[in-house]
Structure 1
Amino acid sequence: MKNAETYILKVTLFGALSSLGSALMAELLKRQHEVIVIVDDLNQLAPRPGLHCKHGGLKDADQAEQGAAGSSAVICLLPALAPDDPREQLHAVHALVDGMSRTTIRRLLLVGDFSVLEHPDGHSEQHRQCIGHMVDLLQRSTLQWTLINAPQAVAGLGIEHFHHTHGTLEPGLAEPLQRLARVAAGMVDTLELKLHHSEHVNFVL
């Protein structure tokens, strides 16, 4: 139960319709924070207390500004927005940084394939350049950002699975579900405790 002194977050989530996005929605709602999910179709998610859907995306700074408006922090899951397309992901980050710069919102968790920062040889030149540009954009911004390595996605997991992580699941889903739930918990801890500003984080779980 939240008390009067507990800070309630209002988090905008880009890329919510993914396994990690579902885990994050469940974790944020469990801790009684509010979640604003940016979607193409307002009917994609069933109504839940504390969950709000807003039509939009990250095509440009205007869309990013409108999506982030009214929140206290933004989480962006790049692999869910543009799988395996670093150029499209860079475009989304550019729009997000420019859009958020027009607001008073400064906290950003950015999830992507940032392992290239530690092991550049295992990635394409295009990937290295796009990630480098993302980091440069963030470093030159006034945002309080955190880069988070994306965990492996799991098909078929929705928000309802993460409300009952110890229930009956299809064979092979229990371990990845619990792993994603732990990553989501770590990310929400990062927001609540104001950790890892201007850092690259890999949740090894």
Structure 2
Amino acid sequence: MKNAETPVFKLVLFGAESSLGSALMVELLSRQHEVTAVVDDLNRHAPRPGLHFKIGGLEGADQAEQGAAGGSAVIALLSALAPGDLAAQWQMSEALVAGLTRTTIRRVLLVGDFAVLDTPGSYSDEQRKGADQVVDALQRSALHWTLINAPQDFPGMGMEHFRTASGTVPPELDGPLRRLAGVAAGMVDILELGLHRGEHLNFVS
């Protein structure tokens, strides 16, 4: 049972087809939130109670707006949608910000290669400039945003892995599974408690 004071979100998830996406869907559903996962192929997914799928992406403001329609909050896993491609992640961020300004949605969590903001000397001028532009667009918007550094990815983990009791998965997956499940739980806490608005976070495993 949920605490009556805890808000129930209709969460729109971009980048659901990733290990962190799977962890987030399991965590959100376990807390009785409703999830709409935006994917590029409906045939690979089966809806289940509280979980719905729709075709879409973040290729532009129109597509972002359509994907987010009907939601009350958004999580975008940019690093899952464009692994290692910072320019693409920044473009997706800007499309999402532009799209959400046309909606009533205000809460958004962006997960990407935002470590560029922590150690700018390790990145190119173009990458730093792109990240700064994303932050500037967010600050000028009415969105309640949080930036999160992408955790290390461990491909191939589906929802079934995160629903399985610890100790019943292969030993090499146990550590990564625990870390991603912990990040997912922390992200849902941020949503439920209204924490870290306008901040940049790094989850330490």
Which bracket does the TM-score occupy, shorter chain normalised? over 0.9
For 1:9, give the aligned amino acid. Answer: F
Secondary structure class of the residue paired with 1:147? strand
- Within-5 A mapping of 1:71-150: 71-150=71-150
1:160 counterpart residue number: 160
1:30 counterpart residue number: 30
1:49 paired with 2:49, answer: yes
Secondary structure class of the residue paired with 2:172? coil
1:172 counterpart residue number: 172
How far apart are 1:197 and its partner, in Å?
A: 0.3
Secondary structure class of the residue paired with 2:181? helix
How far apart are 1:195 and its partner, in Å?
A: 0.2
How far apart are 1:165 and its partner, in Å?
A: 4.1
> Deviation string for 1:101-159 (max 9, x for gaps)?
00110000000111111111122222212111111111111110000011000022111
Rounded to whole Å, the distance in 2 between the matches of 1:43 and 1:31 is 26
For 1:91, give the aligned amino acid. Answer: Q
- Within-5 A mapping of 1:56-75: 56-75=56-75
Rounded to whole Å, the distance in 2 between the matches of 1:140 and 1:19 is 32
Rounded to whole Å, the distance in 2 between the matches of 1:16 and 1:179 is 17
Rounded to whole Å, the distance in 1 between the matches of 2:88 and 2:106 is 23
1:2 counterpart residue number: 2
**How high is the TM-score relative to the length of structure 1?**
0.96
For 1:38, give the aligned amino acid. Answer: V
Rounded to whole Å, the distance in 2 between the matches of 1:200 and 1:3 is 28
How far apart are 1:5 and its partner, in Å?
A: 4.6
For 2:55, give the aligned amino acid. Answer: H
Conserved? CA contact 1:165–1:177, under 8 Å: no
For 2:182, give the aligned amino acid. Answer: R
**How high is the TM-score relative to the length of structure 2?**
0.96
Secondary structure class of the residue paired with 1:27? helix
How far apart are 1:170 and its partner, in Å?
A: 2.2
Count residues in correspondence: 205
Q: Structure 2: which 5+ runs fail to align?
A: none
Conserved? CA contact 1:165–1:178, under 8 Å: no
1:202 counterpart residue number: 202
> Deviation string for 1:60-117 (max 9, x for gaps)?
1111111111111000001111112122111111110111000110000000111111
Secondary structure class of the residue paired with 1:58? coil
Secondary structure class of the residue paired with 2:75? strand
Secondary structure class of the residue paired with 2:132? helix
Rounded to whole Å, the distance in 2 between the matches of 1:159 and 1:125 is 38
Identity of aligned residues (%): 64
For 2:153, give the aligned amino acid. Answer: A
Secondary structure class of the residue paired with 2:171? coil
Between stretches 129-138 and 145-154, larger displacement belongs to: 129-138
1:40 counterpart residue number: 40
1:181 paired with 2:194, answer: no
> Deviation string for 1:24-64 (max 9, x for gaps)?
00100010100010011112223221001011111111111
